[in-house]
Amino acid sequence: MQMQKQEKQKQRQQNQQKQKQKQRQQHQQKQKQKQRQQKQKQKQRQQKQKQKQKQQKQKQKQKQQHQQKQKQKQRQQKQRQQKQKQKQKQKQRQQKQKQKQKQKQKQKQRQQKQKQKQKQKQKQKQRQQKQKQKQRQQHQQKQKQKQKQQKQKQKQKQQNQQKQKQRQQKQKQKRKWRQQKQKQQKQRKQKQ
């Protein structure tokens, strides 16, 4: 009986031991499960964190790329504007140059016209001088002709006066001769 009791006691202890062992194992199992879950959670958190960091980096990278593109775009815009300005300036310079050339051309034409005008005036002056010269010569010719005619008339007049004088002289001589003759006749008659 005592043996049986001891056996039972032993059996109970063993059962208790087993139970305890089982509980410890379960507890360990739970602990391991818990640790695994925690590790899993930790891993997930880390993964999420990594993912988040990756996304952040990606975003940052995209942002930088966008900024780079914007800067590039601005540089290009600036360059286009600069080129446009340069073109505009070039165009203006060319326009000014053309205007200057036109002005020079006009000035040249004016000078040419002026020279032409001067030549015309000179020619006109020369023609007038020749005309005056001709008129003077004609006048001198007329004067000479007139003087010649005057001299001719004077000569003629003198010749006429001379002839008149000679005629008068002859007349006088004739009268004198007739008177003489008459006187002589009268004297002859008285003598008879």
DSSP-derived 3-state class of residue 1? coil
pLDDT recorded at residue 85: 97
Tokens of 87: 């073109």
Cα 183 from chain centroid (whole Å)? 126
Position with higher pLDDT, 144 vs 9 = 144
For residue range 71-90, what is the model confidence (pLDDT) as tens digits?
Answer: 999 999 999 999 999 999 99
Q: What is the mean pLDDT of the chain?
A: 93
pLDDT at 21 (0 to 100): 87
Rounded-to-integer distance, Cα 39 and Cα 52, Å = 19
Q: What is the DSSP string of 116-182?
A: HHHHHHHHHHHHHHHHHHHHHHHHHHHHHHHHHHHHHHHHHHHHHHHHHHHHHHHHHHHHHHHHHHH
HSE-up (13 A, CA, CB side) for residue 58: 6
User: Taking residues 140-154, what's their average pLDDT?
Assistant: 96
- CA dist., res. 131 & res. 137, Å (int): 10
Q: Is the pLDDT of residue 169 over 80?
A: yes
Question: Which comes out higher in pLDDT, residue 11 or 71?
Answer: 71
pLDDT at 17 over 90: no
